[in-house]
Structure 1
Amino acid sequence: MSTPVSDEATAPWPAPTVNGPISATVSLPGSKSLTNRYLVLAALADEPSRLRAPLRSRDTLLMASAVRSLGTVLDDATATGAFGADWLITPGELRGPASIDVGLAGTVMRFVPPIAALANGDIAFDGDPHARVRPMGPIIEALRGLGITVDDNGGGRLPFTVRGTGSVRGGTLEIDASASSQFVSALLLAGARFEEGLTLRHVGGQVPSEPHVTMTVEALRDVGVVIDDSEPDVWRVEPGRVGGLDVMVEPDLSNAAPFLAAAVLAGGQVTVPGWPQYTTQAGDHLRDLLDQMGADVSLDRDGLTVRSTGELYGLDADLRAAGELTPTIAALAALAETPSHLRGIAHLRGHETDRLAALATELNQLGGNVTETEDGLIIKPAKLHGGVFHSYADHRMATAGAVIGLKVAGVSVENIGTTAKTLPEFTQLWERMLTASDGPERR
């Protein structure tokens, strides 16, 4: 686990505490995962695209900058909703030289190198200090397996340079994606532009966060790419054109987690409008998880509503398909009346930080009873107290600290600004939820 990263210019954020039920509607901006997939496909398309109400956060702005650096034109169009203007995207000839700043965004560091392989010229990649310890070997080796030169000084991590030649032959490739589903998505997104297409076979343990691969497959079909995923762990992408997009970006369901958790903890209700009846987003697992923990969850034309009396129970859950929800679920579990066992999430050790170690450390230093296992956490009831909850420059750790602070007085979150990675207005939305006209007594 990396050490906590302090923002010396910003004092720890005092997490608001509530003493009574809340009642609020929280509208959220678009999905990061969908926005970044659409940006990649728009850059590879044969015609212009329009993304309606895309997310503008650090991760998506880094992706926008990356595709711009490779020759794509992005223009802001007339605003259509509460979260800013559409993006009009005109693809251009992919070319270098270019330098790509990936920040700490897994989608940028993994989705863009296969595009860089299609460019003419050298494309250099680097990012935040912790990005240099995130797993990159499978993508680097996959590109080499496709005949692409990648200079990484033998480290298999950032920084590295892709020496693009303007085309990739493609063909059949094996990859171990047991550390991240993003390795699969990265290659599938570019596969139709390879001369022979791509047959990708996963070899290794179970692919985590499989809904994200399904999301990629459906996004490809939306732009006319022919892809066969009928055989488990094998994907066949036919070579061919990539069509343009005109799409409304769904709200980010994983970013809804802390707001819906607030209803579970405080009692009352929170509604997130625009929740799709069908979605490939992993955040949709919240419906079942919060139900297991004692909430009443309903989905109708108004959106997803979570109601609770404030009773909160632990759960035994395999979160492999929705690992990004773990920090919020762990925060709830630490305040529950019964124990919890969160499993199937060993891959979280390679995210923005080692999330399992970070959660155990931060919850325990507030008085919690959390034990790490090989692939998860065991969380037992304990009386928590105030203190500084470190974020480790991880947006989901920061929001987990805010959740804990709702019921534990004196909790401050270090570097709450890291939430800008996927939700730039988190603190404003949080305060707005808690100060709704029929909201709770604050203390």
Structure 2
Amino acid sequence: MALNPSDTALWPAPHASGAVDATVHVPGSKSVTNRALVLSALASEPGWLRRPLRSRDTLLMADALRAMGVGIEEGVGPNGTGETWRVLPAGLRGPATIDVGNAGTVMRFLPPVAALADGEIRFDGDPRSYERPLSGVIDALRVLGARIDDDGRGALPLTVHGGGALDGGPVEVDASTSSQFVSALLLSGPRFNQGVEIRHIGATLPSVPHIRMTVDMLRGVGAQVDTPESGGEPNVWRVTPGALLGRDLTVEPDLSNAQPFLAAALVTGGKVLVPDWPTRTTQPGDRLREIFTEMGGSCQLTDYGLEFTGSGAIHGIDVDLSDVGELTPGIAAVAALADSPSTLRGVAHLRLHETDRLAALTKEINELGGDVTETADGLHIRPRALHGGVFHTYEDHRMATAGAVIGLAVEGVQIENVATTAKTLPDFPDLWTGMLGSDGA
């Protein structure tokens, strides 16, 4: 990876002068919003998304579906109860050009949808999107009957020549680099003529909770899905062909995006309340309750939401994050401020995310005086006294929020391009300074 960021647009990360005590309303889940958009677009009747996340990644998904003929009407719910999107399925069609930005869900979930369209659908995106693995989806779609031009790259840019339908059937996929390869085929699978049987043949499978989320949402719109957890074969998922129902879905808060705010309570020995934290969820971010409790906090889940309290001490942790890799940057930031070393394991696949997150975290924390070393599948973090400096983001939203967490405890941290948080967490700077308003930071 070329670690060559620009020092432009520096944001002084606020330093906490005391314990935070705040209620933070976290916007809706990106993972749920984008899956719901795809399922609603493929349904046989209109559906509703209430309190969807409005961010770069979700707007890219909505615009992409509109380009293929789907109607998405934006409005406000009854009595001003938040934004509501009405999704009106239509015959998918081209020609169209899709901008995926650097959104993994858009670049991976939509080529199977495009294969069902009548016409040519071209996919392009940010320069980094060309480096992110896509061959698992491309190769699988070809086996299932799709025609795709990618000049042999196994990556963007590419063109899907939609034929209005897809045969489907059995296919082998190596999803070692991204569970989104499995989710992408599952989401469109009910619309394939023979459904789909996906057999994962790789040595590892990261982010399994995201596949469980996909399955749960498919079942919620009437799809029949057989999984390893429901008594099926290991590493095999089957979706029966059939119509999908329109659904009225209220999107949960994005629990992974709650991470920096919970971390603030841990780092400052304060308290943060996140309203509407679900009592049952497939979101991987729910594991923060367990991880941050082990690192020194305590939490209580009430009818109103999650109340998380820091003890004033931060402990190191030895943890396998293979199922929740997206939490790694925030955990690394907290671990750099702990009273003992930490080892974060099971996240080699993060080298292929928005940036090479392992290299980026190592470089940026060490440049603030830290002691982080990369391992084959993660990071080893030995806490040291940190100092101020520029924390680069590499256009990665979770790098930006990780730097902000460190800034709470370390004066003089400046975040390069904090605006990249708009990818999944709009208005993060305002939410962050609002959380700190009560402590005079």
Find the partner of 1:384 among 371, 383, 386.
386
Deviation (angstroms), 1:310: 1.7
Deviation (angstroms), 1:5: 3.7
Counterpart CA distance in 1 for 2:107 and 2:261 is 29
Identity %: 59
Matches within 5 A, 1:114-263: 114-229=112-227, 230=230, 231=232, 232-263=234-265
Find the partner of 2:303 among 297, 301, 304.
301
Kept after mapping to 2: 8 A contact 1:80/1:86: no
Q: CA RMSD in A?
A: 1.2
The answer as to 2:399 corresponding to 1:401 is no
Matches within 5 A, 1:286-435: 286-435=288-437
Kept after mapping to 2: 8 A contact 1:2/1:353: no
Counterpart CA distance in 1 for 2:225 and 2:95 is 31
The TM-score, its normalising length taken from structure 1, stands at 0.97
Find the partner of 1:18 among 12, 16, 29.
16
Counterpart CA distance in 2 for 1:62 and 1:83 is 24
Deviation (angstroms), 1:206: 2.1
Deviation (angstroms), 1:83: 8.4
Counterpart CA distance in 2 for 1:22 and 1:198 is 49
Counterpart CA distance in 2 for 1:245 and 1:119 is 22
Partner of 1:103: 101
Cα separation, partners in 2 of 1:352 and 1:309, compared to 1, 3 Å: same
Deviation (angstroms), 1:301: 1.1
Deviation (angstroms), 1:373: 0.4
Q: How many residues align?
A: 437
Amino acid across the alignment from 1:139: V
Counterpart CA distance in 2 for 1:7 and 1:139 is 36
Amino acid across the alignment from 1:116: A
Secondary structure of 1:388's counterpart equals strand
The answer as to 2:439 corresponding to 1:440 is yes
Cα separation, partners in 2 of 1:184 and 1:82, compared to 1, 3 Å: farther
Counterpart CA distance in 1 for 2:16 and 2:440 is 6
Secondary structure of 2:155's counterpart equals coil
Matches within 5 A, 1:278-293: 278-293=280-295
Cα separation, partners in 2 of 1:81 and 1:129, compared to 1, 3 Å: farther
Runs of 4+ in 1 over 6 A off after TM superposition: none
Amino acid across the alignment from 1:132: Y
Secondary structure of 2:141's counterpart equals helix
Secondary structure of 1:51's counterpart equals strand
Per-residue Cα deviation, 1:67-117 (whole angstroms, up to 9, x for no partner): 101110011132358884200010010111100000010000000000000
Cα separation, partners in 2 of 1:212 and 1:17, compared to 1, 3 Å: same
Counterpart CA distance in 2 for 1:257 and 1:305 is 13
Kept after mapping to 2: 8 A contact 1:196/1:239: yes
Kept after mapping to 2: 8 A contact 1:53/1:81: no
Counterpart CA distance in 2 for 1:90 and 1:53 is 17
Cα separation, partners in 2 of 1:85 and 1:183, compared to 1, 3 Å: same
The answer as to 2:37 corresponding to 1:39 is yes
Judge which range, 143-152 or 416-425, deviates more.
143-152
The TM-score, its normalising length taken from structure 2, stands at 0.97
Counterpart CA distance in 2 for 1:318 and 1:146 is 34
Deviation (angstroms), 1:305: 1.2
Secondary structure of 1:352's counterpart equals coil
Partner of 1:75: 73
Partner of 1:3: 3
Cα separation, partners in 2 of 1:311 and 1:80, compared to 1, 3 Å: farther
Per-residue Cα deviation, 1:203-254 (whole angstroms, up to 9, x for no partner): 0122111110000000000000011113221111000101101010000000
Amino acid across the alignment from 2:251: V
Kept after mapping to 2: 8 A contact 1:30/1:55: yes
Kept after mapping to 2: 8 A contact 1:24/1:270: yes
Deviation (angstroms), 1:7: 7.5
Counterpart CA distance in 2 for 1:5 and 1:213 is 33
Kept after mapping to 1: 8 A contact 2:7/2:392: no
Counterpart CA distance in 2 for 1:354 and 1:187 is 25
Counterpart CA distance in 2 for 1:400 and 1:423 is 13
* Gaps in structure 1 of 5+ consecutive residues: none
Kept after mapping to 1: 8 A contact 2:322/2:345: yes
Counterpart CA distance in 2 for 1:395 and 1:168 is 35
Secondary structure of 1:192's counterpart equals helix
Deviation (angstroms), 1:6: 3.2
Amino acid across the alignment from 1:368: G
Counterpart CA distance in 2 for 1:357 and 1:87 is 38
Deviation (angstroms), 1:264: 0.2
Cα separation, partners in 2 of 1:134 and 1:83, compared to 1, 3 Å: farther
Per-residue Cα deviation, 1:341-384 (whole angstroms, up to 9, x for no partner): 00000111110000000000000011000000010000001111
Counterpart CA distance in 2 for 1:277 and 1:114 is 33
Kept after mapping to 2: 8 A contact 1:2/1:354: no
Judge which range, 81-90 or 129-138, deviates more.
81-90
Counterpart CA distance in 1 for 2:301 and 2:100 is 36
Amino acid across the alignment from 2:289: R
Counterpart CA distance in 2 for 1:410 and 1:357 is 22
Secondary structure of 2:323's counterpart equals helix
Counterpart CA distance in 1 for 2:79 and 2:314 is 35
